[in-house]
Amino acid sequence: MSDPTFAARPTLEEVAARAGVSRATVSRVVNGSEGVRAPLAERVRAAVDELGYVPNQAARTLVTRRNGAVAVVVAEPETRFFADPFFAQQVRGISKELTVHDNQLVLLLTEGAADYQRVGRYLAGGHVDGALIFSLHDDNSLPEMARRAGVATVIGGRPGWSDAASGPTTLYVDCDNRGGARDAVRHLLGLGRRRIAHIAGPLDQTASIDRLDGFRDVLPNTDPALVAEGDFTPEGGALAMEELLKRSPDLDAVFAASDVMASGALRVLRRRGLRVPEDVAVIGFDDIVSVAEWTDPPLTTIRQDIEEMGRMMARLLLRALESPSGDGAAPVALAPIVTPTQLVVRASA
């Protein structure tokens, strides 16, 4: 072994020997527990520094049953996960919050239902203390696996299934999709628009459904020809826009269920020589800054604080981990979170 790299890492035992104390004492100092006299503690700390001691996590986990790690499970083709800035921001928030609480983020990407087995085994293997699941479509098999594995879980976005009467509350974090959609449509109405179209997201996702519901709350009698389904990509937004223009050439406003789709719609409008917002007002959803501020014209949209939602997911999960997890004692604030949205007016509407 010429490589110093492979010098065995020091153990508690060695630190104890060096400091002339017992393993137990070192453990106490390292874990910051009370009741070690200052000078002794000092000696231990010195030994730790000199040896460059770092606790072995596996050994610790074996006895504490805590990993200090949380899985982020994405039940979506990876393509989609990475293509969509929405996830990125959310993961960023999660990462930050976990870091603050000294937890690690284990990323579990699934390319389809075939990978669920693997995820299930992983969760059951006790690698992680909890899971944050993005299960976009109406499929609860992943959360169900987590439950069976005894892993606390928080879902990103309102799940499409309803809790069985018996089961515990499913924790999730979502924004007020429906309310936000209402605000969007009202804004367009306030601008005097009367032929308002909607580019919906894929209608097997609750976010899409809720936004469509919000749209209909305000415009209950909308001509069905004024609603087209996209897929949260720019291409999908463009296609939907073309469809809408074909069906209703007289439309004077569009509410797209995401900024990304709105950007696709804007391209189509420009290509057709339609002016935004003079001829057609356009409003998006999300306020993905890198998209909304860079479209031409910049996009009016409904803002949700995506990164903050990520933080909330992590925080909620961490809190669930702390909680007694018995029946009676179930304590404060272990409930789904729905965050408010906010209209951001730029140039497109």
Binding site for DNA (CB under 7 A): 8, 11-13, 20-25, 27-28, 30-31, 34-37, 40-41, 53, 55-56, 59-60, 62-64
User: Considering CB distances under 5 to 8 angstroms, the limit depending on partner class, which of DNA, a second copy, none binds residue 23?
Assistant: DNA
Least Å distance, CB 205 to a second copy, is 21
25 binds, options DNA, a second copy, none, Cβ within 5 to 8 A by partner type: DNA
What are the tokens at 280? Answer: 């057609």
DSSP H helices in the chain: 12-19, 23-30, 38-51, 57-64, 78-83, 85-100, 116-124, 141-148, 177-190, 206-218, 234-247, 259-271, 289-292, 306-322
State in angstroms the smallest separation of the CB of 211 from a second copy: 23
The number of angstroms, rounded, from the C-alpha of 266 to the middle of its chain's C-alpha atoms is 27
Whole-angstrom Cα distance, residue 214 to residue 225? Answer: 17
Q: Which residues contact 346 (CB under 8 A, 6 or more apart)?
A: 292, 293, 297, 298, 299, 300, 301
In terms of CB distance, is 45 or 60 closer to DNA? 60
- Which lies closer to DNA via its Cβ, residue 125 or residue 224? 125
> Cα–Cα distance between 131 and 109 in angstroms, integer?
13
Q: Which does 45 bind (CB under 5 to 8 A by kind): DNA, a second copy, none?
A: none
Which is nearer to a second copy, 82 or 161 (by Cβ)? 82
Q: Which does 327 bind (CB under 5 to 8 A by kind): DNA, a second copy, none?
A: a second copy
Q: Give the nearer residue to DNA in terms of CB position, either 36 or 291.
A: 36
Task: Please provide the DSSP assignment of 115-174 as one string.
Answer: GHHHHHHHHHTT--SEEEEE--BS--HHHHHHHHTT-EEEEES--SS---SSSPPPEEEE
Let me know if 106 is exposed, middle or buried by CB neighbors in 10 A (0-12, 13-18, 19+).
middle
Judged by CB under 8 A, which of 31, 46, 49, 54 binds a second copy? 54
- Is residue 72 a contact partner of residue 95, using CB atoms and an 8 Å limit? no
Find which of DNA, a second copy, none residue 111 binds, CB within 5 to 8 Å per kind: a second copy
Per CB under 8 A, does 100 bind a second copy? no
22, 113, 141, 150: which one contacts a second copy (CB under 8 A)?
150
The least distance separating DNA from the CB of residue 50, rounded to whole angstroms, comes to 15
What's the closest the beta carbon of residue 251 comes to a second copy, in angstroms? 23
Query: Residue 273 or residue 326: which is nearer to a second copy going by CB?
Result: 326
Q: Side by side, which strands form the sheet with 227-229?
A: 227-229, 196-200, 253-256, 281-283
H or E stretch at 229: strand 227-229
The verdict on 3 binding a second copy (CB under 8 A) reads yes
What one-letter code names the amino acid at 98?
L
Instruction: Tell me which of DNA, a second copy, none is bound by residue 24, counting a contact when its beta carbon lies within the kind-specific cut-off of 5 to 8 angstroms.
Output: DNA
Which chain residues interact with a second copy by CB under 8 A? 1-3, 5-7, 9, 52, 54-59, 61-62, 67, 69, 72, 78-79, 82-83, 85, 88-89, 91-92, 95-96, 99, 102, 104-109, 111, 115, 118, 121-122, 124-127, 147-148, 150, 168, 234, 267, 290, 294, 296, 325-327
